[in-house]
Amino acid sequence: MAGALIRLDWRDRAACRGPQAREFYPPGRGERRDEKYRRELRAKDVCSRCPVVDDCLEYAVGIRETHGIWGGTRAVERRGRGRAACRGGV
């Protein structure tokens, strides 16, 4: 449709789209602690350059996502943010 506005979802603008997405979740096989640490650092580095990192974090906290790196945080880091948001501050 000519002239139609296309509204992009925040996920369409996320820096994690593409081949680097594999860094955000553990592999199907187990991983050693040092491998997990390095993978999470790589994922958080992508998040640090992402234009929608705040939207991503808000989404993950809102749905109580328990897996992966979202908005530059691990699940354990998001748990505290969810409780803080419920009390009126992040």
Condensed to tens digits (0 to 9), the pLDDT of residues 31-75 reads 999 999 999 999 999 999 999 999 999 999 999 999 999 999 999
Q: Report the percentage of the chain scoring pLDDT > 90.
A: 69
pLDDT of 85 > 60? The answer is: no
DSSP string of 20-65, one letter each residue: GGGGGS--SS---HHHHHHHHHHHHHHHHT-TTHHHHHHHHHHTT-
What's the whole-model pTM score?
A: 0.79
The pLDDT of 15-33, averaged and rounded, is 91
